[in-house]
Structure 1
Amino acid sequence: MLDFFDITGIVHFGIAGNVNNSMSIGDVTIPKQFAHTGIWDWLNPNAKLNANNNIGQLDIESYNVPKGHGSNLLWHIVYNSEPFFSETGEPNSAQPLLWAPISEHWLKLAANLEDLSLEQSVNSTLFLERKPKLVVGLKGSTANIFVDNAAYRDFLFQTFKVSSVDMESSAVVMTSLSNGYPVIVIRGLSDLAGGQLGQNGIDIFGSLAATNAAKAVITFLQHL
């Protein structure tokens, strides 16, 4: 799109999993930054850990049941930053980037949407327990996996302090920024990313989450 169309910026939207217990299905999040949490090294059990790694480390052995019992050959995952090429940086010279920021002026504009009334009903017989809300300024993560695991959900929240997980946003944000275009991401929360009891709720609440995200997008565009 950036190469073939005359655009002024990217408004990226869709649905996402919720990993923040202060948020609920049906809510809309407009994060202030995104991390690509799908870039990591899976270490050999004999590998030495780098104590200077301050991005994130997942010790798989700590998830043994019973805890601390036996050894785990899956060992350790170490998260990495992503090479970022900027139009204002040195040619062909990448900078390591973990958090890709949303365009600040669009994020400030999105703050006007926090009182937006969102849909609460899936259909005539199924309603959310409370009215959904729109929150601006949290963190989001992206990886090429669909998260539906309570332990990994909690790890992402505790380690990276993210509130939503999806499979596209970080790439869209980094591509927009590297080409000098403003960008914003609007996501409706469709499921609990494994934090639920029983089956994942995306098939039930996905349409409602998409509707609320679309409503936020339309309102945001009206403010531009």
Structure 2
Amino acid sequence: MSNPLHRLTRPLRLLAALAFCAVVAGCATSTPASTPVGKSVQLDGTPRIAVISAFAPELTVLLPQVQNPVKHRANGVEFTTGTLSGKPVVVFLSGISMTNAAMNTQLALDRFNVSHIVFSGIAGGVNPGLNIGDVTVPAQWGQYMEWLMAREDKPGQYSAPAWMKSELTMPAFGMMHPRPVEVRSAAGSAKKFWFAADPQMLAVARGLQNSATGVALEHCHASTCLKQVPKLVVGGNGVSGQAFVDNRAFREYAFKTFEANVLDMETAATAMVAYSNGVPYIAFRSLSDLAGGGEGENEMGTFMGIAAANSARVLQAFLTAWR
């Protein structure tokens, strides 16, 4: 009896033979079934605190302080392991934006033995009681731009789908209604707006705030000086979203609606990843601008250096005090 494979053209015979071999004869494949493609490889096994900043000027102050630095790379991200203020750390840039922050926080958790997460950087001030250069350590962070863009029924009048109204518990900004975000963890699936900072880490930060000596924050940087002496404020709320905010009306809305001290573009995304993985986190954010609340143009370009330096100082004082 002739082999039916012989009646096929050569390319088809080859494909058919491979398929026949794999199914009937159990041919070996190039990728073992027990080794998933793209499996994460841990780059360092030492338990470390992840120290994250969003972009280079925020990390410039910290990296030179890392003792015994060792460089690692994964997916184009550079990680530096070593010690900072006597604590084992892995230091890296998340990149600006909620997506980058979530993606690279998870990357660090996959590739390193991360015990705690600390975010250090600059932010826009929302609370009118705070000034540029102040350092805030919010007790919780929310993703405030998980919007519903509501239907406009009449000019200036908006309505939400009936099935979504139970989620809309906060005032809207025009057509934009803030909503909770769905998050998954070992405990299951939940919809959350706020992600709490770790209570023990927050207590250490409060100790710095209440200390008689406190943390010496910079008042001047190069030739630029602030009008007020900066202060450390622990507690309250922070919010994060995909937009750089430089609008007075929206700033006032964010303070009134979320009782926020600051807003940024990364922290709540990192907080959500920390929650999903069960890793304690805290964030130090220093005000580089007033998110549209100041006179004249946005102040970030002028005061970014002071703000980044002050956030880094509080972070280092925190690590020194952390047990």
Aligned residue pairs total 203
Q: Would you identify which runs of 4 or more consecutive aligned residues in structure 1 move more than 2 Å?
A: 46-53
Structure of greater Rg: 2
Structure 2 unmatched ranges of 5 or more: 1-107
Residue 205 of structure 2 corresponds to residue 110 of structure 1 = yes
Q: Which residue pairs with 2:85 in the alignment?
A: none
Q: 1:78-119 deviations in whole A, cap 9, x for unaligned?
A: 1110012122x13xxx20100110011110111122121200
Residue 241 of structure 2 corresponds to residue 143 of structure 1 = yes
| Larger strand proportion of the pair | 2
Residue 313 of structure 2 corresponds to residue 215 of structure 1 = yes
| Larger helix proportion of the pair | 2
* Amino acid in the other structure paired with 1:48: S
> Deviation of residue 55 (structure 1)?
2.7
RMSD value over aligned CA atoms? Answer: 1.3
Q: Which residue pairs with 1:54 in the alignment?
A: 169
> Deviation of residue 48 (structure 1)?
3.0
Cα separation, 1, equivalents of 2:149 and 2:272: 24
* Amino acid in the other structure paired with 2:171: G
Q: Which residue pairs with 1:64 in the alignment?
A: none
What is the DSSP-based 3-state SS (H/G/I as helix, E as strand, rest coil) of the residue aligned with 2:220?
A: coil
Q: Which residue pairs with 2:280 in the alignment?
A: 182
Residue 218 of structure 2 corresponds to residue 119 of structure 1 = yes
* Amino acid in the other structure paired with 1:146: F
What is the DSSP-based 3-state SS (H/G/I as helix, E as strand, rest coil) of the residue aligned with 2:295?
A: coil
* Amino acid in the other structure paired with 2:143: H
Q: 1:136-188 deviations in whole A, cap 9, x for unaligned?
A: 00200000100000000000001111010100000111101210111000011
TM-score by length of 1: 0.87
Q: Judge which range, 193-202 or 45-54, deviates more.
A: 45-54
Structure 1 unmatched ranges of 5 or more: 61-75
> Percent of counterpart pairs with the same letter?
35
TM-score by length of 2: 0.61
Cα separation, 1, equivalents of 2:305 and 2:127: 20
> Deviation of residue 122 (structure 1)?
2.3
Residue 194 of structure 2 corresponds to residue 95 of structure 1 = no
Q: Which residue pairs with 2:270 in the alignment?
A: 172
* Amino acid in the other structure paired with 1:153: R
